[in-house]
Amino acid sequence: MKKLSLLLTAFLLISASAIARPRTLWMVGDGVMAHYTDSTGPCGWVQAMEGYWNKRMKIVNEAELGLSLRAFVTDDGFKRIEKKPNRTIMFIQFGTNDLKEYNVGDYSSLDAFNRRLMEIIDLAYKNKVNVVLCTPLAQPYYHNGVLIERLGAYAEAIRRVGQYKHVGVVDLEKLTREWLSSMTEEEAAEYYVTFDVAKGEYQLNAAGAAKVASLAKQAILDVDSKKLKRIIRKK
């Protein structure tokens, strides 16, 4: 009886330790996801979500301005995955800088884009890292007053990979496309620090990042995953 009591106590202590241990949310993506320090400059949607995350989450934001999926993989992306602790949740958001018209050197065909995403998911699974795919933000590109979406093919590729690999997809492309479609180009410009989409130069300001953060919160809660729902702070 005494031995059983000791075993039960040990189990409860281990369980309590596991529950108390912060869970890492690892952000990997491009400039719309990155963290910025200048309060008057660009703002990433992840940093704007500060008030939404569960307090037990440890946010590690390694998104970079100009980063593409190809660059992440060909640099040291795989090694970085292997070094992450168990139970890490990896948010991935790429697509914009993989477009040939913006970044010829880092261009990814849709086939290559799909393959790299699946390689990341397989390696992450092997290392007990959970993957969440985020579709890229819709671009504020208008023609004759109508929003023209140029990242739709990449967003759809991400949705299909998520479905095929059974991982959560936070569909920010759909939500931001609907949001941008509800306003004029002039109105949309109020949410960006730089606004020259033809040159690929557009970055969210604090107001724009706050709006996208609210959409991201809802998109995360909409994913059919109890694990993801727990990373959002309860009211």
CA angle 58/62/64 to nearest 5° reads 150
* CA dihedral sign of residues 71, 74, 80, 81: positive
Q: What is the SS3 assignment for 191? A: coil
Phi, then psi, of 92 in degrees rounded to 5: -120, 130
pTM of the model: 0.86
What pLDDT shows up at residue 7?
A: 46
Q: Would you say residue 17 has pLDDT above 90? A: no
What is the reported pLDDT for 113? 92
Token readout for 146 is 């109508």
Annotate 55-83 with DSSP letters as a single string: TTEEEEE---TT--HHHHHHTTHHHHHHH
Which pLDDT band, with edges at 50, 70 and 90, does 19 fall under? very low
Which pLDDT score, from 0 to 100, does residue 85 have?
87
Percent of the chain with pLDDT over 70: 84
Q: At what angle do helices 152-165 and 110-126 cross, to 10 degrees?
A: 30
Strands 23-29 and 89-93: parallel
Domain spans in the chain, listed from the N-terminal domain onward: 23-229
pLDDT classification of 101: cutoffs 50, 70, 90: low
- Most confident residue range from 20-29, 56-65, 105-114: 56-65
Sheet holding 23-29, edge to edge: 57-61, 23-29, 89-93, 130-134, 168-170
Query: Both tokens of residue 87?
Result: 């139970």
Cα Rg for the chain, rounded, in angstroms? 19
pLDDT at residue 69 tops 70: yes
pLDDT tens across 135-160, in order? 999 999 898 989 988 888 999 999 99
CA distance 194 to 188: 11
C-alpha to C-alpha distance for 42 and 1, rounded to whole angstroms:
62
**23-229: CATH number:** 3.40.50.1110
Coil vs helix vs strand at 5: helix
